[in-house]
Amino acid sequence: MINYIIRRLLLAIPVLLGASFFVFWSIRWVPGDPAVAIAGELATPELIAQVREQLGLDEPVHVQFSMYLFRTFQGDMGKSVKTGVPVSSEIARRLPNTLQLAAASLVLSAIIGIPIGVFSATKPNSWFDGGSMTFALLGVSMPIFWLGLMLMIFFAVLLPKWLDLPGPVLPPTGSGTWKHMVMPTIALAANSMAIQARMTRACMLEVLRQDYIRTARAKGLIERLVIYRHAFRNALIPIVTVIGLQFGTLLGGAVLTETVFAWPGIGRLLVEAIGFRDYPVIQGAILVITVGFVLTNLLVDVLYAYLDPRVHYD
């Protein structure tokens, strides 16, 4: 198994390199001079020339890329065009907020999604099953940002109106208290929740069909024990991996949720940077999110190997 882990780690490296190359190279797509894109359109010609020299924009690609990697490892991702603040410190300030939101969403989606999936699987084709799977399908089809806005309307307008309250039940934007976290977490979790419910149900159904379950039942075990001790535990492996993979997707979905709720995370930083054509920030944010995504997936793969003794090789 150690071999497997090492193998996966080694495989992740070219992927990381490739992805960072892609991000590094992306600034060349901007029409015009990349030095202007990095320094900002308002920069003086001297500053632009300085940027061109510092980043070696005239050098061959591989040299530039190594310089880029070297700089990034040292934590230098350039300066924001808009504020002049180093990109790395802007990201460092915002990243914990996003992680907080993503983690909370993950927990919420697991706490609700998995039990629903399990229950549906134990009572297939019942009202509960049909109903919950329909909801799950809706949850997957709904645009996250729209759900966020609907939650806002509900908690900030409708609910106060029905309950005759002076102000909104939950603050619609910003951060700072647990109340600010409720709506963004629900919005972000909805999609994941639905996927996990469906996944859990599918996995459980698969497992429940297995022979050893029949054996357990034949042995006379109480149904509940059958489900939890045998079926669930074995279905858990793919379920856990799905949860882990969801974390990565949540990082991407956070972009939309943070924009809706003005949550000060890295997703919103990215969106605002796009509006301002703040390319250094865009690059930095994408790189950090992507690296996080790759590492999370890697972790999940390793976790999968750890949990499932049947996995020996790639």
Partner 1 sequence: MKQKTRLLIGVLVLLSLVLGACQPATPAPDDTPPPATPVPTDVPEPKTLTIVSGTDVEHFNIRRVTSSPSFSVLEHIYETLFYMDPEGNLEPLLAESIEAGEEDFSFLIKLRQGVQFTDGTPFNAEAVKINLDWILETEPAPVFAFLINRIEEVLIVDEYTVQLNLGSDFAPLAAHLSHGAIAMISPKALEQGEEWLNGNAVGTGPYVLENWQPDEAVTLARNPDYWGDAPAIDTVIFKVVKEDGARIVEIEAGTADVAVRIPPAEAGRLAANPNIDIIETPGLRTIYIFFNVTEEPFTDVRVRQAVNYAVDVEAIVRDLFEGAARVSDAPIAPAVFGYSAQPAYARDVEKAKALLADAGIPAGTTVVLYHPTGRYIQDALVADAVRAQIREIGLNVELRTLEWPQYVPKVRETKPDNEIQFAMLGWGTVTMDADYGLFALFHSSEHPPGFNGAFYDNPEVDRLLDEARVVLDPEARRQLYAEAIEIIWEDAPWLFLYSELQLTAVRSNVEGFIVHPDESLIATFADKR
Partner 2 sequence: MATTTTTFDTPTPRPLIGYGPLRRLMRAPMAMVGLFIVLAFIFVGLTADWIAPHDYDLPDFSMARKGPSPGHLLGNDEIGRDMLSRLMHGARISLTIGLTSVAIGVSFGVVLGVLSGYFGGFTDLLIMRLIDIMLAFPSILLAIMMVAFLGPSLQNAMLAIGVISIPVYARLVRSSTLTIKEESFIEAARALGGSHFFILLRHILPNVVAPIIVQSTLQIAAAIQAAAALGFLGIGAPPDVPEWGNMIQKGRAYIFSAPHIVVFPGLATMFVVLGFSLLGDGLRDALDPRLK
Residues that bind partner 2 (CB under 8 A): 14-16, 18-19, 22-23, 26-27, 29-31, 137-138, 140-147, 149-150, 152-153, 156-157, 248-249, 251-253, 255-256, 259, 270-271, 274-275, 279, 282, 286, 289-290, 293-294
What residue type is 91 in one-letter code?
I
**Residue 18 touching partner 1 (CB under 8 A):** no
Total H helices, total E strands in the chain: 14, 0
3-state SS class at 181: helix
Q: Which of residues 228-247 bind partner 1 (CB under 8 A)?
A: 233, 236-237, 240
* Residue 167 interacts with, from partner 1, partner 2, none (CB under 5-8 Å by kind): partner 1
CB 80 within 8 A of CB 90: yes
* Residue 8 interacts with, from partner 1, partner 2, none (CB under 5-8 Å by kind): none
What is the distance between the alpha carbons of residues 255 and 267, in angstroms, rounded to a whole number? 4
**Residue 31 touching partner 1 (CB under 8 A):** no
Give the closest residue to 227 by CA, choosing from 120, 113, 111, 107: 120
Q: Which of residues 252-271 bind partner 1 (CB under 8 A)?
A: 262, 264
124 burial via Cβ count (<10 Å: 0-12, 13-18, 19+): middle
**Residue 59 touching partner 1 (CB under 8 A):** no
* Residue 307 interacts with, from partner 2, partner 1, none (CB under 5-8 Å by kind): partner 1
CB 169 within 8 A of CB 155: yes
Per-residue 3-state assignment (H helix, E strand, C coil) for 119-137:
HHHHCCCCHHHHHHHHHHH
Minimum distance between the CB of residue 237 and partner 1, rounded to whole angstroms?
Answer: 8
Give the closest residue to 254 by CA, choosing from 280, 288, 279, 281: 288
What residue type is 203 in one-letter code?
C
* Residue 301 interacts with, from partner 2, partner 1, none (CB under 5-8 Å by kind): none
Per-residue 3-state assignment (H helix, E strand, C coil) for 18-57:
HHHHHHHHHHHHCCCCHHHHHHCCCCCHHHHHHHHHHCCC
Minimum distance between the CB of residue 253 and partner 2, rounded to whole angstroms?
Answer: 7
* Residue 16 interacts with, from partner 2, partner 1, none (CB under 5-8 Å by kind): partner 2
CB 196 within 8 A of CB 189: no
Q: Which residue has the tokens 């089809």?
A: 141
What is the distance between the alpha carbons of residues 231 and 124, in angstroms, rounded to a whole number? 15
**Residue 173 touching partner 1 (CB under 8 A):** yes
* Residue 225 interacts with, from partner 1, partner 2, none (CB under 5-8 Å by kind): none
**Taking CB under 8 A as the rule, which mask of x and - marks residues 110-139 in contact with partner 1?**
------------------------------
Instruction: Return the residue of 61, 103, 137, 138 that touches partner 1, per CB under 8 A.
Output: 103
Choice between 62 and 224, CB closer to partner 2: 62
CA distances from 33 to 23, 29, 86, 121 (A): 17, 10, 21, 57
CB 283 within 8 A of CB 171: no
- Interface region with partner 1, contact rule CB under 8 A, candidates 31-39, 80-88, 121-129, 249-257: 80-88
**Residue 33 touching partner 1 (CB under 8 A):** no
Contacting positions for partner 1 (CB under 8 A): 41-42, 82-85, 90, 96-97, 99-100, 103-104, 106-107, 156, 166-168, 171-178, 181, 233, 236-237, 240, 262, 264, 272, 275-277, 303, 306-307
